[in-house]
A and B are shown apart, each in its own frame.
Chain A
Amino acid sequence: MNKIPKILMLSLPILILVLVIFLFARIQKQSPTTTTGSEVPTPTPTPEVFVPSKWAGDEEVLGIESNILNLEKDLENVDLKKLQLLPPSLDMKVKF
C-alpha cells in the first residue's frame, strides 16, 4: 500500500515537467511569427456594381464623355516646360 504513493511521488514531478515542456512547445508553435509585407493579406476592392440609368446610353451624354476624355489627353500633352526656347546664354560683355 505504501509503495503506490511513493511511485506517484516520484513520477508526479516528471509528469509535470513533461507537461510543462509540451505546453511550452505548443505555445511556441502558436506564437505569431514576423511576416513579410507580401504575406500580409491586402484588402481587395469589392467590384462596384454598375447599374446603368436611363441616361447611360444617351447620345449627348456619350458625346460629352468622349470630348472630356480627349480633353484629358490634351491637358496631359500640354508642354509647359519651354526650356528649349528660353533665351540663349550669350556673352554680351565684350571687353579688351
Chain B
Amino acid sequence: MKRFLPTFLLLLLPLTVNAQDFDFNHAFQDYLYNYNLYRSSHLEYVSAKSEYLTYKTLTAQTKALEATQKMLLARAETLKTYLTALRMKLKETTGVLNYQQNMYYLKLDNEVTWISSHETSLPSAATLDDLVKISQEAEKRYPTMEILAYQTLGTVMTGKEVTLRDKINEQISKTESKINQIKEAGEDTTTLERWLIQAKEKIKRSEEKEKEAQNLLSGIKTTDKNKIQTWNKAQKAFEEENQYLKEAVSYLKEILREIKSE
C-alpha cells in the first residue's frame, strides 16, 4: 500500500495544478467558446424549425428535435460558463466584503446547479413538446439569473472603487498629519486645510454615487423588461463615482505642490 501512495499522489498532482490555473481568463475563454457553439447551434435550430413548420414531415420533425436539443444544451452550457466567469471575476476582485462575496458565490452556485439539472433533463425529452416545456422552465428562471449577473457586476465595480477610495483616504490622512506638522512649525496652513476639506468632499460625493448605483441594481425586478437600462444608469453612477475619486486625487496633488513650494 505504501508503495502505491506516491504514485497516487503523483496522479492527483495535475488535478491540483489545473484547479490553481483556473482563473477568470480561463473561465472567460470557456464562456466565449460555448457562446460561439450556441450561436452556430441556434442557426441550425432556426433552419430545422423552419423546415419542420413548412413540410411537417417525420424526417423534418426528427431533425428539429435533434437541433432543438443541441441548441438547448449549448444554451445551458453558455449560461453555466457565463456564471462561472462572473464567479471568477468576483473571486479575483479585491475590496468586496467577505459576506457579500459568499452571498453571491452561493447564489451563482445555486444557478449553476439548477442549469446542470436542467441539462440532464434535456436528453430524456422524446418530443418537441417535451423540449418546449423544459425550455419554458429555463425561460422562467432566466430573469433571476440576469438580475444576479447585473448585481454581481455591480459588486465587482464597487469592490474596485472601494479599494481605490480606501487608498485615497489613506493618503488624505497622511496629508492631514503633514499639514498639522507644518502648522505646529508655525506656518500658515489655512489654504491647505481648506483644500483638504474640498478633497474630502469629493470622497463623500463618490460614496453617494456608489450608493446610488447599488440602489439602482438592488431595485431591479424579475418583471422589468429593460434591465439593461437600469444597468446603464448604474454604470453611469459608477463612472461619476470614479470621476469624483479622480478629482480628489487631483486636489491632493495640488495640496502637495503647495506644501513643496515657498
Which A residues are within 8 Å of any B CB, using their own CB? 50-53, 55-56, 58, 60-61, 63-65, 67-68, 71-72, 74-75, 78, 80-82, 84-88, 90-96
Q: Which residues of A contact B129 (CB under 8 A)?
A: 96
Interface footprint category on B: 35 or more
Among B6-14, B99-107, B251-259, which stretch is in contact with chain A?
A: B251-259
Q: Which residues of B contact A78 (CB under 8 A)?
A: 160-161, 164, 242
Does B73 lie at the interface of the complex (its beta carbon under 8 Å from any beta carbon of A)? Answer: no
| Residue from B145, B150, B174 within 8 A of A64 (CB atoms) | B174
> Across chains A and B, which 6 residue pairs bring their CB atoms closest together, nearest first?
A94-B135, A51-B262, A56-B260, A92-B139, A53-B262, A87-B149
The smallest beta-carbon distance between A56 and chain B, in angstroms, is 4
Check B249–A87 contact: CB distance below 8 A.
no
Q: Which residues of A contact B35 (CB under 8 A)?
A: 88
Given contacts A68-B171, A80-B235, contact A88 B245 (CB under 8 A): no
Check A52–B262 contact: CB distance below 8 A.
yes
CA A51 to CA B261, docked complex, whole Å:
6
| Residue from A58, A67, A90, A95 within 8 A of B132 (CB atoms) | A95
Chain B CB within 10 A, most for which of A56, A61, A86, A88: A88
The residue on A at minimum CB distance from B236 is A80
CA A65 to CA B260, docked complex, whole Å:
10
Chain A CB within 10 A, most for which of B138, B168, B182, B261: B261
Given contacts A68-B249, A94-B135, contact A60 B153 (CB under 8 A): no
Q: Which residues of B contact A82 (CB under 8 A)?
A: 153, 156-157
The smallest beta-carbon distance between B169 and chain A, in angstroms, is 11
CA A91 to CA B41, docked complex, whole Å:
11
CA A53 to CA B256, docked complex, whole Å:
11
Q: Which residues of A contact B174 (CB under 8 A)?
A: 60, 63-64, 67
Does B142 lie at the interface of the complex (its beta carbon under 8 Å from any beta carbon of A)? Answer: yes
Check A86–B42 contact: CB distance below 8 A.
no
Check B86–A85 contact: CB distance below 8 A.
yes
CA A65 to CA B175, docked complex, whole Å:
10
CA A80 to CA B89, docked complex, whole Å:
13
Check A71–B171 contact: CB distance below 8 A.
yes
Check B135–A61 contact: CB distance below 8 A.
no
The smallest beta-carbon distance between B182 and chain A, in angstroms, is 7
| Residue from B161, B235, B246, B259 within 8 A of A55 (CB atoms) | B259
The residue on B at minimum CB distance from A96 is B128
Q: Which residues of A contact B168 (CB under 8 A)?
A: 71
- Since A82-B156, A88-B38, A96-B129 are in contact, a sample of 5 more A-B pairs with Cβ atoms closer than 8 Å, ordered by chain A residue number, is A64-B174, A75-B164, A80-B242, A86-B153, A88-B82
Check B72–A94 contact: CB distance below 8 A.
yes
Q: Which residues of B contact A60 (CB under 8 A)?
A: 174, 178
Check A94–B142 contact: CB distance below 8 A.
no
The residue on A at minimum CB distance from B259 is A55
Check B260–A52 contact: CB distance below 8 A.
yes
